[in-house]
Amino acid sequence: MRESARHEALRPDVWERAFYRGSIAWIGAQVLVRAVNFFAGIALARWLMPEDFGLMSLALTVTTLIALFGNVGIEHYLVYHPEEHSEVLTAGFWLGVIIGLGLFALQVTAAPVIAGFYGRPDLVPILLALSLTLLIAPWGSVHAALLRRRLEIGKLVRPQVATTLIGTGIGLALARAGAGVWSLVVPFVIAAPITVAWNWKLCSWRPASRWSPRSWGAIIRYGRHVLGNDLTAYAMQNADYILIGKWLGALPLGFYTFAYNQSMMLPTLLMGAFSHVAFPIFARLRERSAELRAMYLRFARTNAGIAIPLLLLLLVAAPEYVRAIYGEKWAPAIFPFQLLLLHAIGRCLMLGAGELFNAIGRPDLNLKCALGAAPVFVAAVAMSLRWGIAGVSVATALVFLGLAGVIIAIAFRTLRWKPSDFWTAMRPVGLTAGSVLLTMGLLRRVLESLALPPWQMLVALLLGGGIIHALALTILFRPELRELKNLVLARHTEFDDQTSASDR
């Protein structure tokens, strides 16, 4: 069965609908999961001790780092591969299982050493319990890759939503019963077998018991760059935290961490959507440059048109947002928060470029960009420490805004596209963002003269900016909104026929 040949026949508008549909499913699931975790976190914070959260954080840091070394790009390669060859799928499955077994053994062996390093013997059983996730998770990774490849994002997010709801219920019950840190550990551990079982139910593919490692070389050659990029990105994501914690102390780090996490809420949602939805589409179109270019520009423009004006809206309303929702004690984080929102705009501009590199079989470009950016970022942060977290925030914003331009230029040069096409496509985004920023600035001046309390100022600013944003989208993004409307009204699409056939 030639899955790539079936997808070759799909029209561009069908791919577009598949992207919007998958993005809606992904973002909707993430919003639900975060909402559940937010409200559950309030209850857990009341029933558990801070030490319980600290122990879980230590154990998760170790487990996450060990798991990172197991990401040799198997799922990426299976999405990138032109066809669903059973031999390649089976080879990828057993490679993942073997790596998972090795990571499980590594964490089990290292648990007493790690616990001794931190001086916490009670960390050993937690690390041993979490090591089970390293052993179990790979059994469902190929099935998840197939769902992602076929753009069945609605199915892909079901296990995540289910494990969140089940785990939250179990965690709250255990916390109420006085189980302490285990009310955090148990939900995390049981998520792995539930996810695997659900993936096997949703995807009918089954691995063969007999397999050959012949495809391992191709998988590892592709995946080593994915692993290298992930490790470099992990180092970059933590370099500013480490330097601030070392040289400025815990209190400034707390304000900076708060500002960074707040600024990245929206970009994180969009990055997940691009990674899970756009990458499979780009991979199917990699031999059709004109269609790939048009699809990338359409996706990038739509995401930037939604996200960047909202980030600017939040930038103007930041003082009221922080004071009204989190309280005056977080006021020192306001200016860094505003600066880091500019960093978030840089993140939004480069959305999709990494997926393009992976889709055309050049994950090495992601790694090279990361290796080039990492020393620049670390040096910029180190030199800016003398100006406190505001200086670090400025450095972070400047580095990522510059990095966005560099990565976009590399992507367009590699694919032999005109870089000017990107900025031409972004004109509606600039007009929308400018309209929102100008309106918010004028509205803020008027509201400040009224001396309103922070929460009333926040509501007025969000309403005013939101209305202007919606009007600008209606005028400048009419084709995209029409496509979304058609998607909402349509219960069945041509893509449904293709994905249903691929699973038979």
Q: What is the pLDDT of residues 356-368, one digit of tens each?
A: 999 999 999 999 9
Residue 387 domain-assigned (yes or no)? yes
Residue 497 domain-assigned (yes or no)? yes
Q: Do residues 196 and 241 both lie within one domain?
A: no
Q: Do residues 157 and 248 both lie within one domain?
A: no
Residue 163 domain-assigned (yes or no)? yes
Residue 227 domain-assigned (yes or no)? no
Q: Do residues 301 and 267 both lie within one domain?
A: yes
Residue 440 domain-assigned (yes or no)? yes
Torsion of CA 274, 276, 278, 280, to 10 degrees: 160
Residues in contact with 369: Cβ distance below 8 Å, sequence separation at least 6, in sequence order: 403, 406, 407, 410
Q: Do residues 331 and 201 both lie within one domain?
A: no
Residue 217 domain-assigned (yes or no)? no
Q: Are 4 and 499 in contact (CB under 8 A)?
A: no
Q: Do residues 388 and 302 both lie within one domain?
A: yes
Distances (CA, A) of 205 to 85, 92, 449: 11, 13, 65
Q: Do residues 152 and 265 both lie within one domain?
A: no
Instruction: Say if pTM beats, i.e. exceeds, 0.85.
Output: no
**Phi, psi at 83, each rounded to 5°:** -140, 165
Q: Do residues 305 and 420 both lie within one domain?
A: yes
Q: For the chain, how many structural domains are there in total?
A: 2
Residue range(s) defining the domain that contains residue 325: 234-504
Q: Do residues 425 and 496 both lie within one domain?
A: yes
| DSSP labels, 220-279 | HHHHHHHHHHHHHHHHHHHHHHHHHHHHT-HHHHHHHHHHHHHHTHHHHHHHHHIIIIIH
The residues of the chain scoring below 50 in pLDDT are 1-9, 491-495, 500-504
Q: Do residues 55 and 117 both lie within one domain?
A: yes
Q: Do residues 198 and 315 both lie within one domain?
A: no
Q: What pLDDT score was predicted for residue 6?
A: 46
Q: Do residues 204 and 266 both lie within one domain?
A: no
Give the domain-ending residue among 155, 179, 211.
211
Q: Are 96 and 297 in contact (CB under 8 A)?
A: no
Residue 57 domain-assigned (yes or no)? yes
Q: Look up residue 465 and give its amino acid.
A: G
Give the domain-ending residue among 211, 243, 263.
211
> Residue 491, SS3?
coil
Distances (CA, A) of 22 to 147, 274, 279, 411: 11, 10, 12, 24
pLDDT digits (tens, 9 = 90+) for 7-27: 444 556 677 777 778 888 888
Q: What pLDDT score was predicted for residue 318?
A: 94
Q: Do residues 247 and 199 both lie within one domain?
A: no
Residue 229 domain-assigned (yes or no)? no
